[in-house]
Amino acid sequence: MRKKRPQEIIENVRVLDFASEGKCFSKIDGQVIFIEGVSAPGDLVDIQVFKSKNNFKEAKVIKTHEVSEMRIDAFCSHFGVCGGCKWQHLPYEKQLELKQKQVIDQLTHIGKVPLPVISPIFPSENTTYYRNKLEFTFSNYKWLTNEQIASGEEFNRNALGFHIPKRFDKILDVDHCFLQSDPSNQIRLKVKQFALDQGYTFFDAIKMKGFLRNLIIRNSNLGDLMVVVQFGEPNHEEIEKMMSFIAEIFPEITSLNYVVNQKGNDTFLDLEVINFKGKAYMEEKMNEVTFRIGPKSFFQTNSTQALNLYNITLELADLQGDELVYDLYTGTGTIANFVAKHCRQVVGVEYVPEAIEDAKLNSSLNAITNTTFLAGDMRKVLTDSFVGLYGKPDVIITDPPRAGMDKEVVEVLLNAGAQKIVYVSCNPATQARDIALLSEKYLVEKVIPVDMFPHTHHVENVALLLLK
């Protein structure tokens, strides 16, 4: 067997600036090195190269000698190991500056189209405890730090927490997470302790077996609290015991549910969710529109900032009341129902059939009668014939996944010739690519970045395109 080549270690590297996707970079002998791990411009670090190409290298920080004056202290004890909140060591104002720059750079260098002055990024009101959903994984293979390994001690390897970046089989056991408000931390810790006391098996991702698999905690701005426990074995006596414990200790839970999942992955869209206690859903309110959210429903995970995002979308659409609006990648119809009262008709299209059922339900709950929702692959559903059947749209709102829109979809948009396109994106790079394709018939009128996820490099961006 051929031995692996030892990875190159480069000492005393001065970090120069930030790069895309939350990385930093430096240059050695004219070659760019992209650096992963905790770093900031001005740091002096040792790095280990894990990928070499002709014109660049990729490396990770293995030791820090000097820290940048830019840095601040991280607030979370798991910082540097956990895959979330990787920018805790940067002041929030600096994070916003970097996200603004990311949007400008990607629209400029990838889109290469004339741009207006880009609006200042819309900051998040809350920078901690802002998420309404967290998903934790049970594992019998807890991540150990180098210090723990070096100690020679024996550790209980059962964990309940987050996946270590790039490792599907190892879990960081979380003490306190700053992403979701109480009682999220208490629920996770109490559930874990009860499981240990009862001697339950935590899931083995290699052997694909174990009693406890997953824990989802969701809350809403109306005070609802949903918990979903995913079990890997149909041991109904012990399931009853676990669920009864949670119900007794946390009476504030308004929707308590569980799933038995013996598949090879954690997704449960195709499995039955059993409501153990309370409602089978929770409710969220955006302005005067109420949304019912089931255990399988998608909803924006930062409720406060989602409302700002939808208000910006509505403002850019500038609906006068008589427009036909297409809402593409509508999900559970959140934007469609949000804008419905401001226009004549909304037609929403989404790939996931269950999401479309949620969209229809939310229209019904709010007595919204001017929405039509269809499920299917966007490339196959949204065709020139579709436009002929449902009518030429006056406004198109599109909020695609990170991969952006397929070329076939862009072609239909160009043929449809709506007066306005409001493009909401969680990935300005693919948004810039699509805008370049749309520039054949559209000009970019306005761009507003929105920070949905503080302490991460992710940024949402809304662009208004007007027909030439």
Residues annotated catalytic, as ranges:
426
d(CA 295, CA 258): 9
Bridge partners of residue 465, in order along the sequence: 421, 444
| Backbone dihedral region for residue 150 (phi beyond 0: left; psi -120 to 50: alpha; all else: beta) | alpha
d(CA 2, CA 203): 34
Q: Letter for the amino acid at 63?
A: K
**Residue 100 DSSP SS3:** helix
Q: Give the Å distances, CA to CA, from 154 to 138, 144, 150, 157, 186.
A: 19, 11, 11, 9, 26
d(CA 402, CA 384): 24
How many CB atoms lie under 10 A from the CB of residue 437? 19
For 224-237, b/e burial (b = at least 16 CB within 10 A) is: bbbbbbbbbbeeee
Handedness of CA 394, 395, 400, 406 (dihedral sign): positive
Does residue 183 have a cis peptide bond before it, meaning omega lies within 30 degrees of 0?
yes
Alpha-helical (H) ranges within 272-377 are 303-317, 334-339, 353-365
**Residue 73 DSSP SS3:** coil
Contact (CB, 8 A) for 421 and 393:
no
For 178-208, b/e burial (b = at least 16 CB within 10 A) is: bbbeebbbebbeebbeebeeeebbbbebeee
Residue 16 CB partners (closer than 8 Å, separation 6+)? 24, 25, 26, 27, 41
Residue 365 CB partners (closer than 8 Å, separation 6+)? 290, 292
